[in-house]
């Protein structure tokens, strides 16, 4: 028993649906068969799969090729630091169980805002002619794709939940009997930019070495989103971004821009500090915003009105730093890796301020104290490479002398004499 060969850009969920239709079996026996053992599972993600090697082999494909061509993996990892994305890839392609770890958060990135299956009428008719059947395109299910970038047509929103589940509705493929396309809640030009950028990330058509933060800051400054004293106008940018997309779409994507704007996610994304783990959806919203923002008189007035603040707002700095560090610790927890206080402070971008004003930033201080005692602290267990070499006995390792003695084995009898 094999799985059908995936069509171009077919989502993994769609492949599994077609397999069910071909063999006439329900979801549970099919998953048992894929796992090679009885499973209590009766649902499956539409976007990702933990058993990549197994599913890919059954489709007659290389696991890596399958991961990049038929799951949302390249999209959700596109804006992550390179080494972190490579780690995740190794985990997905490896045989360990550790891949269940971040599957949920990765899928969440891709399915938030797109709970129902979507398709393009034009693509569906093309597929019918070309392949004799229709299928669910991976690209059309992405939360930042509201129109088909190929046909520039709004997508049809079906009433079928994206995930694979038990029941007849789950088995459906795109068909003209569904309702009419839904106009996106945002400007069509912006929607098209978002769709094209999403497609670039999904298909890997972008420069992996790009420093996203730096590129946003350059673009923002080229667009005039700058204060007279040279800082990027983060708050006004956040306001303009929230107006461009509207609260409805931002809420759907769980990307609400909350007041005070100075602490909102678009403002933080435009800061010089690096929080490298911003969701791909936020990156895409920022990119399309910077492509489309027009600086009108009202925005210019707002930007000019802001004075450089002479007093440091420790409360909001503290909250911002604490959130950034907590997220980073969580990621290390998920990945089973360790980090240092120094690294945590470096991603907040306010490390020096913190060191000199500890009492004024109690949240961050408490979090770091808690972190020092946790398993995620590199200092706590096992130490770092330098200290392991310097003080081996502390980490339960053989001393340099013992190692030398081991190397000189068998012992020189003349020395004992
Ligand atoms: Zn289309």
Domains of the chain: which residue ranges?
A: 12-171, 210-305, 314-372
Residue 120 Cα, ligand 1 centroid: separation in angstroms? Answer: 5
- Residue 90 CA: distances (Å) to CA of 109, 167, 208, 395: 19, 34, 17, 28
User: Within 10 Å of residue 378's Cβ, how many Cβ atoms?
Assistant: 18
Query: Low-confidence residues of the chain, pLDDT below 50?
Result: 411-417
Phi, psi of 313, deg, nearest 5: -90, 90
The pLDDT value given to residue 289: 98
Name the pTM for this structure.
0.76
Distance 416 CA to ligand 1 centre (A): 84
Q: Which helix (H) or strand (E) holds 15?
A: helix 12-23
Cβ neighbours of residue 320 closer than 8 Å, sequence gap 6 or more: 263, 268, 348, 350
Q: Residue 413: what pLDDT?
A: 46
Query: What spacing in Å lies between the alpha carbon of 118 and ligand 1's midpoint?
Result: 11
Measured distance CA(363)–CA(206) in Å, rounded: 38
Distances (CA, A) of 289 to 95, 258, 262, 378: 40, 17, 17, 39
H/E stretch holding 119 reads strand 116-119
Cα(16) to centroid(ligand 1), Å = 22
Total length of the chain? 417
CA of 333 to the centre of ligand 1 (A): 40
Q: Could you tell me the distance, in angstroms and rounded to a whole number, from the CA of residue 3 to the centre of ligand 1? A: 25
| pLDDT for residue 312 | 67
Distance from residue 50's CA to the centre of ligand 1 (Å): 29
Predicted confidence at residue 207, as pLDDT, reads 87
In DSSP notation, 256-286 reads --PSSGGGSHHHHHTSSS------HHHHHHH
CA 18 vs. chain centroid, Å, equals 28
Q: How far is the CA of 121 from the centre of ligand 1 (A)?
A: 7
- The values of phi and psi at residue 231, to 5°, are -80, 150
Per-residue pLDDT at 178: 57
DSSP line for 323-341 = HHHHHHHHHHHHHT--B-H
Ligand 1 centre to CA of 69 (Å) is 18
231: DSSP letter: -
């Amino acid at each position: 028993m094999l799985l059908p060969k995936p069509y171009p850009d077919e989502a993994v969920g769609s492949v599994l649906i077609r397999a069910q239709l071909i063999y006439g079996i329900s979801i549970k026996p099919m998953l048992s068969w894929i796992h090679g053992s009885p499973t209590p599972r009766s649902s499956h993600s539409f976007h990702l799969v933990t058993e990549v090697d197994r599913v890919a082999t059954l489709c007659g494909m290389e696991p890596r090729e399958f991961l990049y061509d038929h799951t949302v993996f390249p999209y959700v990892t596109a804006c992550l630091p390179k080494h972190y994305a490579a780690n995740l890839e190794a985990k997905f392609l490896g045989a360990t169980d550790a891949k269940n770890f971040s599957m949920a958060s990765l899928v969440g990135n891709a399915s938030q805002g797109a709970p129902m299956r979507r398709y393009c009428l034009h693509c569906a008719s093309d597929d019918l002619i070309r392949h004799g059947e229709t299928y669910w395109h991976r690209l059309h299910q992405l939360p930042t794709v509201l129109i088909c970038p190929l046909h520039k047509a709004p997508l049809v929103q079906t009433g079928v939940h994206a995930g694979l589940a038990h029941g007849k509705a789950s088995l459906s493929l795109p068909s003209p009997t569904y309702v009419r396309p839904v106009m996106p809640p945002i400007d069509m030009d912006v929607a098209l930019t978002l769709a094209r950028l999403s497609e670039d990330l999904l298909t890997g058509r972008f420069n992996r070495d790009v420093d996203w933060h730096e590129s946003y800051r350059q673009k923002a400054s080229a667009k005039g989103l700058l204060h007279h004293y040279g800082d990027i106008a983060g708050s006004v940018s956040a306001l303009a971004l929230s107006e461009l997309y509207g609260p409805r779409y931002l809420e759907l994507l769980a990307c609400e821009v909350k007041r005070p704007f100075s602490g909102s996610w678009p403002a933080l994304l435009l800061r010089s500090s690096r929080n490298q783990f911003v969701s791909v959806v936020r990156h895409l919203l920022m990119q399309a915003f910077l492509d489309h923002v027009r600086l009108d008189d009202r925005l210019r007035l707002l930007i000019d009105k802001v004075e450089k603040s002479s007093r440091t707002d420790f409360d909001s700095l503290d909250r911002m730093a604490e959130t950034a560090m907590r997220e980073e610790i969580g990621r290390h927890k998920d990945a089973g890796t360790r980090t240092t206080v120094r690294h945590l402070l470096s991603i907040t971008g306010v490390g020096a301020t913190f060191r000199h004003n500890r009492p004024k930033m109690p949240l961050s201080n408490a979090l770091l104290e808690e972190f020092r005692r946790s398993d995620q602290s590199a200092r706590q267990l096992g130490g770092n490479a330098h200290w392991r070499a310097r003080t081996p006995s502390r980490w339960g390792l053989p001393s340099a002398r013992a190692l030398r003695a081991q190397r000189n084995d068998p012992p020189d009898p003349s020395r004992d004499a």
